[in-house]
């Protein structure tokens, strides 16, 4: 189906498209449907100089579903959807410079993320995305079948380790993080997930949140996770966006990984992020979908 309201320019061969022609502050239903369809096809969309503020970004998140309460902020008392303003600078080096999918240590990780650039460094500070659909499809049928049979335990150990110092390592911070650990215990996800909307298969890669492959010895599990980690880290699966203040990226958390390139330290960079609740990842051996038409 063609796009009538929006114009797309693909930014790589695997995933990503820049979108023109959508006024994000007041999307009519038909235009939103096209944006949604483009997201499922291209996995990450870029809206240069979107003109959004935090409220408008949150309103847009609502169009995709229920904006999430970030677990740490929920434990700290937040009841409504939350924004995270992530700031890098001399005192807070970027900590998201490894491939990951957001918050896979929860039973129902987010389905969509919306990230808007605030302060942008003079050079550097790009974000990269990888198509886990393309990474899955590039595997041999034998490896596809094998990896599809596996489940992986994800946990929040690495998140908690990084959060402690950022929260000042106080007694109160320790208690909050203990509560987070108690309320969000390790969770098992399939290593290959079926996309609930498109039916396509994608590797579910949680980066440092992945602890071990269920039913395997440690050396076996380490070898499999090391293979997956190497496999997804290929330039042919990737795209990259160089930010201008106000640019908005929307990505499908169910089929992509991302990382913030850490080449701007100690320059400042800030991004405004909100995510939308997802559902429990699953693998359906019966369901197969047509490959994507475009990257």
Count of residues near Fe ion by CB under 5 A: 2
List 258, 264, 269, 292, catalytic entry: 258
Whether 273 is a known active-site residue: answer yes
Asked if 270 and 87 touch (Cβ cutoff 8 Å), the reply is: yes
Residue 102 near Fe ion by CB under 5 A: yes
- Closest approach, Cβ 223 to Fe ion, in A, equals 26
Whether 195 is a known active-site residue: answer no
Phi, then psi, of 151 in degrees rounded to 5: -125, 150
- Closest approach, Cβ 96 to Fe ion, in A, equals 5
DSSP H helices, the chain, are: 29-42, 54-64, 71-75, 132-137, 141-148, 157-166, 171-183, 218-232
Nearest residue to 136 (alpha-carbon basis) of 293, 292, 5:
292
Nearest residue to 88 (alpha-carbon basis) of 134, 127, 58:
127
Residue 252 near Fe ion by CB under 5 A: no
Whether 102 is a known active-site residue: answer yes
Selected range binding Fe ion among 6-14, 96-104, 115-123, 154-162, rule: CB under 5 A:
96-104
The residues in 20-49 that bind Fe ion, with binding defined as CB under 5 A, are none
List 42, 88, 102, 247, catalytic entry: 102
Selected range binding Fe ion among 92-100, 142-150, 207-215, 227-235, rule: CB under 5 A:
92-100
Taking the CA atoms of the chain, what radius of gyration do you get in angstroms? 19
- Closest approach, Cβ 54 to Fe ion, in A, equals 18
Question: What is the bridge-based pairing of β-strands 127-131 and 112-117?
Answer: unpaired
- Closest approach, Cβ 1 to Fe ion, in A, equals 31
Residue 217 DSSP one-character state: -
Q: Which residues bind Fe ion (CB under 5 A)?
A: 96, 102
Catalytic machinery residues: 100, 102, 258, 273
């Amino acid at each position: 189906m063609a796009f009538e309201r929006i114009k797309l320019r693909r930014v790589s061969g695997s995933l990503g498209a820049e979108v023109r022609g959508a006024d994000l502050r007041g999307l009519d239903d038909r235009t939103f449907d096209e944006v949604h369809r483009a997201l499922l096809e291209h996995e990450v969309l870029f809206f240069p100089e979107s003109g959004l503020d935090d409220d408008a970004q949150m309103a847009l998140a609502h169009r995709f579903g229920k904006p999430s309460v970030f677990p740490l902020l929920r434990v700290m008392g937040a009841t409504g959807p939350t924004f995270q303003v992530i700031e890098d600078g001399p005192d807070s080096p970027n900590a998201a410079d490894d491939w990951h999918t957001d918050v896979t240590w929860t039973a129902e990780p987010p389905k969509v993320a919306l990230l808007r650039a605030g302060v942008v460094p003079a050079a550097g500070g790009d974000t990269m995305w990888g198509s886990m659909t393309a990474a899955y499809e590039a595997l041999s049928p034998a490896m596809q079948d094998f990896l599809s049979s596996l489940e992986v335990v994800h946990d929040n150990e690495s998140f908690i380790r990084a959060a402690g110092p950022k929260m000042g390592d106080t007694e109160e911070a320790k208690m909050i993080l203990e509560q987070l650990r108690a309320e969000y215990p390790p969770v098992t996800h399939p290593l290959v997930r079926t996309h609930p909307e498109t039916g396509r298969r994608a590797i579910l890669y949680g980066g440092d949140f992945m602890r071990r492959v269920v039913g395997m010895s440690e050396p076996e599990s380490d070898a499999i996770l090391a293979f997956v980690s190497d496999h997804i880290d290929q330039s042919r699966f990737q795209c990259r966006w160089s930010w201008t203040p106000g640019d908005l990226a929307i990505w499908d958390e169910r089929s992509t990984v991302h990382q913030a390139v850490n080449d701007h330290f100690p320059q400042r960079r800030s991004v405004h992020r909100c995510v939308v609740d997802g559902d429990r990842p699953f693998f359906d051996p019966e369901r197969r979908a047509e490959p994507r038409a475009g990257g």
